[in-house]
Amino acid sequence: MRTLDYTTEDLCRAPRLRIALVTETWAPEVNGVAMTLGRMVDGLIRRGHGVQLIRPRQQPGETALHGGGLEEVLARGLRLPRYDGLKLGLPARVRLLREWSRQRPDLVHVATEGPLGWTAVTAANKLRIPVSSDFHTNFDHYSGHYGMGWLRQPVAAYLRRFHNRSAVTFVPTAALAAQLSAQGYRSVEVISRGVDTALYSPARRDEALRHAWGVPAGGLAVISVGRLAPEKNLALALRAFAAIRRLRPDARMILVGDGPQRAALARAHPDAVFVGMRHGEDLAAHYASADLFLFPSLTETFGNV
C-alpha cells in the first residue's frame, strides 16, 4: 500500500487517455461522492483527457451531454428506498459491452458499487480493459442505522468481492487503506483529498450571518454540516450541544444540510437553526462564521465536510 503523489508536471506529461467513469451519483445530487467525482472529472478534462461518464438518468426526459471532453451515457436506475435523492443504477452489461467494443476506453474507473458498477466491472474484464475502483462509503456500517443490522456482514463481503475484481481500489486515507487490507482487500492505494483554501477561508466570516442565526455579540455559534440522516449520528451532536449550552447559554446550534431526519429533528429541537443545503461561497461563509464544529458521524471514509 502506498500513496500516489503526482505533481502537476507529471500529469501534464502523461499520455492523453480516454477514461470511462461509472457512478450512481452525480451533480446536482449533493453528497461527498458526487462532489469528489465532479472535481476529479474537471481536473481530468483540464489536463486533456476524455471522460465517458456512465450514470443513471436522474430525471425523465433528461438528455446526455456531449462535448468539452465529456460524453455521457445515461443508464436506467431506481430510487434508493429510504435514501431520497439517490438512485441505484440497474445492470447494463450488454449496453456497456456494445459501447466499449465500438469505442474502447483506456481505463474503466468504477466509483460506486451498485448493480451498474458490478456489470461495468464484468464488461471491462470480459473486454480486458483495465479497471480501477473507488471505496467512498462504508455501506456495511449503514445497515444498522436503517434497521437492517443483519445485513452488515453480507454487505461487507459483497464490497470486498466487488473491489477485488478491479486491479486497484483507491481510498482517501492511509488508515482506511490499512483497515481494508486487513479485511482481505487487495491492491489498495491512497489518493487523498484536498481543501480549496481560497474558498474556505476565515476571511469569509460574516457578522450579519451570525446575527441572522440569532447569535448575540460574543456568543458561541456551534455548527454541524452534512446530510440529516440516521448514519450521521446527529443525536450525539445535539446531546453535546445541550452540554455546551449548560455552560454557555449564549450558544446557538446551526445545522447545514438536508435529509430524511430534518423534520423530526426540527420538531425535537426548536431552538436549533436549520439552514438547509448551502453551496459555494455561501457554504464557505457558514463555516467561517461559526466558532465550533461538531461532526459526530462514525461511518465516514474521509469526512469531506
Q: What is the CATH number of domain 202-293?
A: 3.40.50.2000
Instruction: Return the higher-pLDDT residue of 113 and 146.
Output: 113
User: Which residues fall within 8 angstroms of residue 38, CB to CB, at 6 or more apart?
Assistant: 26, 27
Q: What value, to the nearest 5°, has the Cα angle with vertex 269 and ends 267 and 275?
A: 90
Report the phi/psi class of residue 54: left, alpha or beta, with left for phi > 0 and alpha for psi in -120 to 50.
beta
pLDDT in tens, 120-141: 999 999 999 999 999 987 654 5
Extended strands (E) in 104-158: 107-110, 131-134
Cα separations (Å) of 46 from 125, 234, 292?
28, 38, 36
Instruction: Return the higher-pLDDT residue of 14 and 275.
Output: 275
- Whether the per-residue pLDDT at 145 is higher than 50: the answer is no
Q: Which of 29-43, 146-160, 246-260, 264-278 has the lowest mean pLDDT?
A: 146-160
User: Which residues fall within 8 angstroms of residue 57, CB to CB, at 6 or more apart?
Assistant: 74, 75, 76, 77
- Whether the per-residue pLDDT at 98 is higher than 50: the answer is yes
pLDDT in tens, 164-190: 999 999 999 999 999 999 999 999 999
What are the phi and psi torsion angles at 216 (to 5°)? -70, 165
pLDDT of residue 139: 58
Q: Which residues partner with 22 through β-bridges?
A: 54, 110
Average pLDDT, the chain: 89
Residue with cell 458499487: 113
pLDDT in tens, 180-219: 999 999 999 999 888 899 999 999 999 999 999 999 999 9
- Whether the per-residue pLDDT at 263 is higher than 90: the answer is yes
pLDDT of residue 220: 98
pLDDT of residue 6: 46
pLDDT of residue 154: 81
pLDDT of residue 188: 96
Domain boundaries, the chain: 8-190, 202-293
pLDDT of residue 1: 47
pLDDT of residue 140: 45
**Is the Cβ–Cβ distance between 166 and 185 less than 8 Å?**
no
pLDDT in tens, 29-70: 888 889 889 999 999 999 999 999 999 998 888 999 999 999
Q: What value, to the nearest 5°, has the Cα angle with vertex 279 and ends 46 and 71?
A: 35
- Bridging pattern class, strands 50-56 and 66-67: unpaired
- Whether the per-residue pLDDT at 148 is higher than 70: the answer is no
Nearest to 21 by CA among 5, 10, 37: 37
pLDDT of residue 48: 95
Name which CATH class applies to 8-190. Answer: alpha beta
Question: What span, in angstroms and rounded, lies between the C-alpha atoms of 126 and 215?
Answer: 60
Say if 8-190 and 202-293 have the same CATH topology.
Answer: yes
Q: Which residues partner with 110 through β-bridges?
A: 22, 133
- Whether the per-residue pLDDT at 7 is higher than 90: the answer is no
Query: What is the side-by-side strand order in the sheet with 292-293?
Result: 273-276, 251-256, 220-225, 292-293
User: Which residues fall within 8 angstroms of residue 122, CB to CB, at 6 or more apart?
Assistant: 93, 165
Cis link prior to 28 (omega < 30° from 0)? yes
DSSP 187-236: SEEE------TTTS-GGG--HHHHHHHTPPTT-EEEEEES--SGGG-HHH
